[in-house]
């Protein structure tokens, strides 16, 4: 039985029916260092294979759609691949068949010509063991028959058993093929595409792998878990050239999820040294503290690409602690106030997503906590807005006789320290928009006294409300 299918079958055993159900509460904001507890609804969009590996391959296409490809199953038997597309506004489309073959975990890329390509290991109905690809030229609505995309060389003898991940480097797909304890890299698709082993006896014996691309150099960085010695996570530049392998600090996990930036250098992964406090590691460039939540341990960690070089970080557990979520500034040196999301979960496998449009399209692989029964593992989806911060000051406007005739409220709106232009600021019927420095001013009449509520809104952020004394 394939390793991932074993994970799915074991999920029903691992689920704990007595896990306490969580519920959502109203938003609370307490300044830059505060924690936001938003009301976020998670919707199950698919049944997936329960595993800490990448159960769902995702890619954001040029038209803003988020595409998902994943394994389907009938009972405990893998049945094929399915695909779902999520619109830029967050509308989840129907599930369609991508392949009827019993396939391994797929990787997914969008080729330079706009075609979606899902790549997977499988034994064909004609008993050919290889790496296969299916394509969609209509935005994921329909998919081609599988084509053999295996490269050349001796390293892909067991490729049909691999759980594949994929990324683009200068328009070329780069695949990870973990097999027989070794991590094999294939650059390109089809006969003649080079492949080579990345791991060695000291850092091999790997299970799952991840890849992400450094936008500034085109270097694809791989990450994997090794049990060659003590359990250890590694990151390494894998294509087009092989760079130095870096041991990831902190506690080991079955997987290290990676995210690159669409603007600027860097590939990032999240880790924890104590199961509570989360840090973000940049391949070859040190780390930065992200934060912690008292109620939430970091059993499962994830990262996702955000706009303008930002990186989302997510973590959570399956003991009722929910999820911690935050987003960095453009330089990836500071973070927004933490968000604490309630999640009704019995077993949490993985958190992932994509935040390139501004909000985070958050994907959670879990066994939901359902009273009286243990459901199969599911893919749950929610859209999470970013969090604003604001500094508000009040100054009196006096006439020549030193009499107060009005009050000026000055609001500086930031996102993890970056100024936010175009945010709408309102109080007592007065409205203004922030300038390029994130600053807006409102003038209130002298008759207005006491506590005044200032609201800050922006299309891709949560509404921020602050009270100020006038």
User: pLDDT tens for residues 379-404?
Assistant: 999 999 999 999 999 999 999 999 99
Q: For residue 90, report the phi and psi dihedrals to the nearest 5 degrees.
A: 100, 10
Quickly list DSSP for 231-262.
-EEEEEEEESS---EEEPPSS--S----EE-S
Tens-place pLDDT, residues 400-416: 999 999 999 999 999 99
Please name the CATH architecture into which domain 389-469 falls. Answer: Sandwich (2.60)
Spatial neighbors of 405 by CB under 8 A, at least 6 apart, are: 397, 398, 399, 446
- Residue 50 has a pLDDT of 76
Give 234-291 pLDDT, tens digit per residue. Answer: 999 999 999 999 999 999 998 899 999 998 899 999 999 999 999 999 999 899 999 9
Q: What predicted TM-score, i.e. pTM, was given to this entire model?
A: 0.90
d(CA 248, CA 28): 35
Domain layout of the chain by residue ranges: 3-384, 389-469
| Nearest alpha-carbon partner for 153 in 188, 123, 128 | 188
Class of domain 3-384: mainly beta
CA dist 34 and 466 (Å) reads 13
Please state, in angstroms and as integers, the Cα–Cα distance from residue 444 to each residue in 12, 402, 440, 454, following that order.
Answer: 61, 17, 13, 12
Cα(415)–Cα(386) distance, integer angstroms: 8
Q: How far is CA 408 from CA 340, 395, 425, 427, in A?
A: 34, 5, 13, 11
- Identify which has the larger pLDDT, 375 or 292: 292
CA–CA distance, 227 with 223 (Å, rounded to integer): 13
């Amino acid at each position: 039985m394939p390793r991932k299918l074993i994970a799915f079958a074991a999920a029903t055993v691992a689920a704990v029916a007595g896990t306490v159900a969580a519920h959502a509460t109203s938003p609370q904001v307490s300044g830059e260092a505060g924690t936001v507890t938003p009301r976020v609804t998670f919707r199950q969009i698919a049944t997936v294979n329960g595993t800490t590996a990448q159960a769902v391959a995702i890619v954001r296409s040029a038209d803003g759609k988020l595409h998902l490809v994943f394994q389907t199953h009938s009972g405990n038997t893998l049945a094929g691949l399915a695909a779902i597309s999520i619109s830029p506004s967050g509308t989840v489309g129907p599930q369609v068949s991508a392949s009827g073959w019993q396939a391994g975990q797929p990787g997914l890329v969008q080729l330079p010509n706009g075609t979606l390509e899902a790549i997977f290991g499988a034994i064909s109905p004609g008993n050919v063991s290889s790496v296969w690809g299916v394509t969609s030229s209509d935005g994921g609505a329909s998919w081609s028959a599988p084509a053999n995309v295996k490269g050349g060389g001796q390293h892909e003898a067991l490729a049909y058993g691999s759980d594949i991940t994929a990324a683009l480097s200068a328009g070329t797909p780069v695949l990870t093929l973990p097999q027989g304890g070794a991590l094999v890299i294939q650059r390109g698709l089809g006969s003649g595409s080079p492949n080579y082993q990345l791991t060695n006896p000291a850092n091999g014996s790997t299970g799952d792998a991840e890849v992400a691309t450094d936008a500034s150099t085109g270097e694809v960085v791989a990450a994997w878990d090794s049990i060659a010695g003590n359990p250890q996570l590694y990151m390494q530049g894998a294509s087009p050239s092989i760079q130095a392998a870096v041991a990831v600090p902190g506690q080991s996990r079955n997987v290290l999820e990676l995210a690159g930036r669409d603007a600027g250098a860097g590939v990032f992964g999240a880790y924890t040294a104590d199961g509570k406090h989360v840090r973000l590691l940049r391949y070859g460039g040190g780390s930065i503290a992200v934060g912690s939540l008292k109620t939430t341990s970091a059993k499962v960690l994830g990262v996702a690409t955000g706009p303008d070089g930002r990186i989302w970080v997510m973590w959570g557990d399956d003991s009722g602690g929910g999820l911690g979520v935050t987003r960095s500034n453009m330089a990836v040196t500071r973070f927004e106030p933490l968000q604490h999301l309630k999640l009704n979960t019995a077993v949490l496998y993985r958190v992932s997503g994509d935040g390139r449009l501004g909000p985070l399209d958050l994907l959670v692989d879990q066994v939901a906590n359902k009273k009286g029964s243990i459901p199969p593992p599911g893919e749950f989806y929610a859209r999470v807005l970013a969090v604003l911060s604001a500094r508000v000051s009040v100054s009196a406007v006096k006439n020549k006789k030193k009499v107060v005739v009005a009050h000026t409220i000055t609001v500086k709106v930031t996102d993890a320290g970056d100024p936010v232009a175009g945010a709408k600021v309102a109080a007592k019927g007065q409205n203004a928009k922030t300038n390029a420095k994130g600053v807006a001013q409102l003038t209130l009449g002298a008759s207005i006294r006491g506590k005044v509520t200032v609201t800050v809104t922006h299309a891709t952020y949560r509404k921020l409300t602050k009270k100020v004394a006038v």
